[in-house]
Amino acid sequence: MKLHLQRRYKGGSYTIGSLYINSTYFCDTLEDRVRNIPAEGKVWGQTAIPTGEYKIALNYSTKFKRHLPRLLDVPYFEGILIHRGNTAEDSAGCILVGENKVKGKVINSTKYEIELVRLISDARARGESIAITIERKTHLS
């Protein structure tokens, strides 16, 4: 299973993107602000992860008390999950899923988290590897 997150809008404290699963649009995303980590430095809980490709595991989160997708081997970061939430304050570097119908937020995130976990579980049961590619649009505004 191949996930693709295309960052499309950079706000002052957040980043909005689109998440695709096997080339089909799935939902919107919300992350913390994109920073140039070597130049600007990483601000804990307020910085989006670097662009790149990451393997995904599905494991139990002791913080959230449920199974969630976890990105592996993310430079400068640990414990990056894909989960529900509404604002950048809910992120702490993680990727939030939902619908971007309110400026700077995603809504209806619980249903997208549940469906994403189900799809990843099914793919794992079929023996598929799961990965995500994160990129920005050429002109991220």
Where in the chain are the domains? Answer: 2-136
Q: Give me the pLDDT at residue 141, please.
A: 52
pTM of the model: 0.92
Q: Give me the pLDDT at residue 137, please.
A: 73
Rounded Cα distance, 64 and 59, in Å: 11
Helix (H, G, I), strand (E, B) or coil at 127: coil
What is the dihedral angle through the alpha carbons of 83, 129, 59, 67, rounded to the nearest 10 degrees?
50
CATH of 2-136 among 2.40.440, 1.10.150, 3.30.720, 2.60.40 = 2.40.440
Ranges of the chain whose pLDDT falls below 70: 39, 138-141
Q: Give me the pLDDT at residue 140, please.
A: 55
Q: Which of 55, 52, 7 is nearest to 34 (CA)?
A: 7
